[in-house]
Amino acid sequence: MDAGESRRDARRQAVFLLYQEDVTGLPLTELVENAERERGFGLNDFTREIVDGVTQSRDHIDTLIDGAASGWSVDRIAPLERNIMRVAVHEMLGRDDIPDAVAIDEAVSLATRYCQTDAGRFVNGILGAVVRGGETR
């Protein structure tokens, strides 16, 4: 991790890269190059791992979100909230060093800060249902 950059910062960067890909349709490689050029240095390993992991498992992650979001399909969820949840589900599935509760807390924090007023509760409810569904650790 770069000096002064926390996992929280890296997670936020990953969410915004995935969001940009989602709404613009631009290739992720181009978005990563743009982000690195703007920052003046490369993305850290944690950000890259999240972006790569979500990209590789997106269909499975979206299936879990769909199953947990009763009455909602993943396509109907706002793009930023959708990508916040994708990152959290990726962490719950593939990161033994991040407890489910921490992944959910980080996602709720991002949703509360960057999304609509009730987004934190919405994200918390869906991620809680993913955990209760039993596919995470």
Query: 70: pLDDT confidence band, cut at 50, 70 and 90?
Result: confident
The single residue listed with the structure tokens 């791992």 is 49
The whole-model pTM stands at: 0.91
Which amino acid, one-letter code, is at 55?
T
Residue 5 CA: distances (Å) to CA of 8, 12, 53, 56: 8, 11, 20, 25
8-37 pLDDT, tens digit each: 999 999 999 999 999 999 999 999 998 888
Q: What is the pLDDT of residues 78-110, one digit of tens each?
A: 999 999 999 999 999 999 999 999 999 999 999
CA pair distance 89, 83, nearest whole angstrom:
10
Burial class of residue 43, CB neighbours in 10 A (0-12, 13-18, 19+): buried
